[in-house]
Structure 1
């Protein structure tokens, strides 16, 4: 029997291959059901709108996306002023893998946001490095951050006119994984992945593998959300590079290394509307906040700033979201903030606080109590935290409404 577990105490690991499995989990004495979650429920001064597409998409209005990310490494203090990244579509994506010194301070969690070629489409995603690889002397951040760098580069350089196939969320995940596998500096490691492409005609495609995931908010409600993929409790699907030496030992002594592939990802399509909010995050958020917690945080900001307006008929979206997504000046401390960055930092800060709370039980605590009541786990789960927030705007929305008056 394992020793008692609580906040800040390292997890034990399942026996796999040569006494190692690249993901922390609890002891397993009988088959476990797949993990089910209660309903979950780098910085510039301003956000620029995406450039007009050179080709018409056939839809009446084009969609644009304003994005920001916030993050916090495990056991590090969170600073909302510096632990934030504002997406600028005009910034050139570095086409080579960044050195460690240039990575955001997000620990083993990684993210990317990139234009897709010269279009209005945007690709973005979260990758959570599998911490269990540390037991084998592997830095899990090398896999996750490189994986995101390669996907950002592939999206940015995508040229459909040059004969490239249509870029999908799963194919982008595959390209990133292939590039990591070819990277001679990465000999082992793994990560979960939640990858999305939002097209200029208002369609969202998501490929989700593991327990990172997303929620889609619309008019003060959770419109849709992802379900985590797990092999067993706290053992998510994961992309992996497993050294030949590990495979050889597994063949001799038994056991198996977890190694899933982009083809195993759940792929979903979603139709977007003006004023929708997309929130993608690692399990550092979803293990500590329910969907309804995230909705309340986003709704409070949207309503207080006027991007969502209350009326007798419910919630209405402001015709023009540009004043909110390009800059905010609530006070001197938030002059360089944007709607999306404020929501992202609110969520990251709330998840950070909940992760260190030893009294209020979050989603992870409730699942431990369900499957392992003898462990007496209470409070949050300390982990790396990473969140991307995307605000959806429909170009021409304001003009279309005025024409009806």
Structure 2
């Protein structure tokens, strides 16, 4: 009797936190979570002065990424998906974009980042999580990220990398409201506290987001944004904050 082989797809278990900056009426961030794809976009706030809602482009881009990924299953590449998704955007505006595709059977991520959104990848070594990979920002200058959209940059200008991963690695994807307000050491401390016994993606995303929101309002805090600022800025950076936390599940043949 011939044995039957079953094939399983790798997947994410993901949770998120999203808040608008203090005093704002709505967030300009957008995000996308599926079982094998993650993305965060941060609409460029400067469009408000032109009467344009910056969130609309970011959300249209997320929808187009989801639609394009379904249409390009046989050519599932981050650069190809994002290029088509951006080309299909009809709304005026622009945004940063970070995109991660989980390979269905291999232990790898196809990653892309344009602008100052991004991601971290952590792996448990012994009893503690350690940072093993992170995205690279693409910037025209301080607080001036590369961006897709109207009169924006091309996908070819994005940072890209294929990253090898292991089962139960943890991905933190974010808009810059997180990293402008929390240092990498603080982020890792929160992950180790929240995931000490078991990874709870919702609780971890909430803990990271709420801490960043707390610090963004602290006028005496020397935030990462303040430290990078060249003219003596002090305090956190009041901004929208989006955090996606995903646990990687690598399945095997049975």
What is the TM-score when the length of structure 2 is the normalising length? 0.89
Which residue of the other structure, out of 102, 109, 130, is the alignment partner of 2:29? 109
Deviation of the 1:199 alpha carbon:
1.2
Give me the whole-angstrom Cα distance separating, in 2, the residues matched to 1:364 and 1:55.
Answer: 49
Q: 1:272 to 1:135 in 2, by over 3 A?
A: same
- Segments ≥4 residues shifted beyond 2 Å: 61-64, 153-160, 393-397
Partner SS, residue 94 of structure 2: strand
Which residue of the other structure, out of 103, 109, 124, is the alignment partner of 1:204? 109
Give me the whole-angstrom Cα distance separating, in 1, the residues matched to 2:6 and 2:39.
Answer: 26
Give me the whole-angstrom Cα distance separating, in 1, the residues matched to 2:171 and 2:15.
Answer: 11
Higher strand share: 2
Give me the whole-angstrom Cα distance separating, in 1, the residues matched to 2:158 and 2:145.
Answer: 11
Give me the whole-angstrom Cα distance separating, in 2, the residues matched to 1:65 and 1:128.
Answer: 22
Q: What is the CA deviation profile of residues 194-234 of structure 1, one whole-angstrom value per residue up to 9, with x for unaligned ones?
A: 01101122210111000001111112111111121111111
Give me the whole-angstrom Cα distance separating, in 1, the residues matched to 2:63 and 2:179.
Answer: 24
Give me the whole-angstrom Cα distance separating, in 1, the residues matched to 2:70 and 2:6.
Answer: 17
Give me the whole-angstrom Cα distance separating, in 1, the residues matched to 2:23 and 2:247.
Answer: 28
Which residue of the other structure, out of 182, 191, 197, is the alignment partner of 1:298? 191
Gaps of 5+ in 1: 1-53, 78-104, 116-121, 161-165, 243-258, 308-323, 325-338, 400-405
Match runs of 1:4-83 below 5 Å = 56=7, 63-75=10-22
Aligned length: 245
Deviation of the 1:62 alpha carbon:
5.5
Q: 1:396 to 1:159 in 2, by over 3 A?
A: closer
Deviation of the 1:109 alpha carbon:
0.4
Give me the whole-angstrom Cα distance separating, in 1, the residues matched to 2:85 and 2:236.
Answer: 32
Is 1:241 aligned with 2:150?
A: yes
Which residue of the other structure, out of 48, 66, 69, is the alignment partner of 1:152? 66
Is 1:129 aligned with 2:129?
A: no
Deviation of the 1:106 alpha carbon:
6.4
Asked whether the equivalents of residues 204 and 269 of structure 1 are also in contact (C-alpha less than 8 Å), the reply is yes
Match runs of 1:171-186 below 5 Å = 171-180=80-89, 183=90, 186=91
Deviation of the 1:358 alpha carbon:
1.1
Give me the whole-angstrom Cα distance separating, in 1, the residues matched to 2:246 and 2:238.
Answer: 25
Q: 1:159 to 1:392 in 2, by over 3 A?
A: closer
Asked whether the equivalents of residues 72 and 81 of structure 2 are also in contact (C-alpha less than 8 Å), the reply is no
What is the TM-score when the length of structure 1 is the normalising length? 0.57
Q: 1:284 to 1:149 in 2, by over 3 A?
A: same
Deviation of the 1:159 alpha carbon:
4.0
Deviation of the 1:275 alpha carbon:
1.9
Which residue of the other structure, out of 168, 175, 180, is the alignment partner of 1:287? 180
Gaps of 5+ in 2: none
Asked whether the equivalents of residues 106 and 386 of structure 1 are also in contact (C-alpha less than 8 Å), the reply is no
Deviation of the 1:157 alpha carbon:
4.7
Q: 1:106 to 1:278 in 2, by over 3 A?
A: farther
2:250 aligned partner: 394
Q: CA RMSD in A?
A: 2.2
Deviation of the 1:142 alpha carbon:
1.1
Q: What is the CA deviation profile of residues 49-91 of structure 1, one whole-angstrom value per residue up to 9, with x for unaligned ones?
A: xxxxx984xxxx86332011110011269xxxxxxxxxxxxxx
Match runs of 1:191-340 below 5 Å = 191-200=95-104, 201-219=106-124, 220-242=129-151, 259-303=152-196, 306-307=197-198, 339-340=200-201
Asked whether the equivalents of residues 65 and 391 of structure 1 are also in contact (C-alpha less than 8 Å), the reply is yes
